[in-house]
Amino acid sequence: MNIHKEISLENEICDHLASHGWLHEAEDAKRYDRARALYAPDLLEWVKTSQPKAWEAIAKSGDTALLDRVRKQIDARGTLDVLRHGIEMIGVDGTLKLAEFKPALAENPEIVARHQANRLRVIRQVKYSLANENSIDLVLFLNGIPVATSELKTDFTQSVEDAIDQYRYDRPPKLGGRTEPLLSFPSGALVHFAVSNAQVFMTTKLEGKATRFLPFNKGDDGAAGNPLNPHGHRTSYLWEEVWDRESWLELIGRYIIAQKDKKGQPNALIFPRYHQLDATRKLVRTVLQEGPGQKYLIQHSAGSGKTNSIA
């Protein structure tokens, strides 16, 4: 019964995304490359479609050379940097883009075409581990590169805390002396969501039992959690709003902040919490309507990230 209810939630989320610009097929999980933590068909199709001249050069060396190069660069620089800035590759003139994010103002037709060519995919029950057959409920990909994972629970059976514990105790970034490519920082998925019908929590860095999860909830009339949703789950804003195609691309391209150490290596990722994302998007819409030079108030509770919202 528990599994049946979770599968129903998986179905609902995947069906919604599939009908709103995401790719999703029943056999996707079988095509996932555990060792490289890549969904190769989308990565290859993205390059072929968005950068045909580069693809001509890459095709001469074969698919493996591209996949290995992408994995090596992600390991060296982190997932976010590779997605935002692309990679250099022998035989390819200039930078090989691995995603195209919509610029704030420019309407260059080539950029618009590449932006529209982005391949967002959701895959369920992904067997990710190099050491066992564990699977994660949902993994989100951008052009074949994993950007988010999600463990789902239904409040009829288990709570969001059970999903958090699953990450802390059953999803270690290293196991048996080997790094799990999908779960490692900063070269794995950018964010990990623990989701129930009622609440959402997230983290950008899995550290076993020391992992710190932050709420990704809307708030409920001044209290924690989420308000009742007359049309479905309290947490449906996650897949209907945040994971909306344009919203999700903008979030990855513009909102996530990488903090780096003295050697220039990322040591933390700041992923906006829901209220920060909501506040900044409302500000942007208002400024576009009213013009620059106005004064605005950002009101968050103590310690909830006002500085980053303002920035």
| CATH class given for the domain over 2-42+119-271 | alpha beta
Tens digits of residue pLDDT in 106-135: 678 899 999 999 999 999 999 999 999 999
Distance CA 273, CA 152 (A): 19
Please report how many Cα atoms fall inside a 13 Å half-sphere around the Cα of residue 19, on the Cβ side: 8
Tens digits of residue pLDDT in 261-271: 888 888 999 99
CATH 3.90.1570.50-classified regions of the chain? 2-42+119-271
Higher pLDDT, 40 or 223: 40
Quote the crossing angle between the two packed helices 40-50 and 63-77, to the nearest 10°: 100
- Categorise residue 294: left if φ over 0, alpha if ψ from -120 to 50, beta otherwise: beta
For residue 32, pLDDT beyond 60? yes
Higher pLDDT, 153 or 288: 153
pLDDT for the residue 1:
37
Q: What is the mean pLDDT of the chain?
A: 92
- Band (pLDDT 50/70/90 cuts) for residue 2 is low
DSSP three-state, residue 241: helix
pLDDT for the residue 261:
87
Strands 174-175 and 200-203: unpaired
- Band (pLDDT 50/70/90 cuts) for residue 62 is confident
Element spanning 161, H or E: helix 160-170
**Does the predicted TM-score (pTM) go above 0.85?**
yes
pLDDT for the residue 302:
67
pLDDT for the residue 4:
57
* C-beta of residue 70 within 8 angstroms of C-beta of residue 43: yes
- Band (pLDDT 50/70/90 cuts) for residue 103 is confident
Tens digits of residue pLDDT in 161-220: 999 999 999 999 999 889 999 999 999 999 999 999 999 999 999 999 999 999 999 999
Strands 120-127 and 135-142: antiparallel
- Band (pLDDT 50/70/90 cuts) for residue 68 is very high
pLDDT for the residue 221:
85
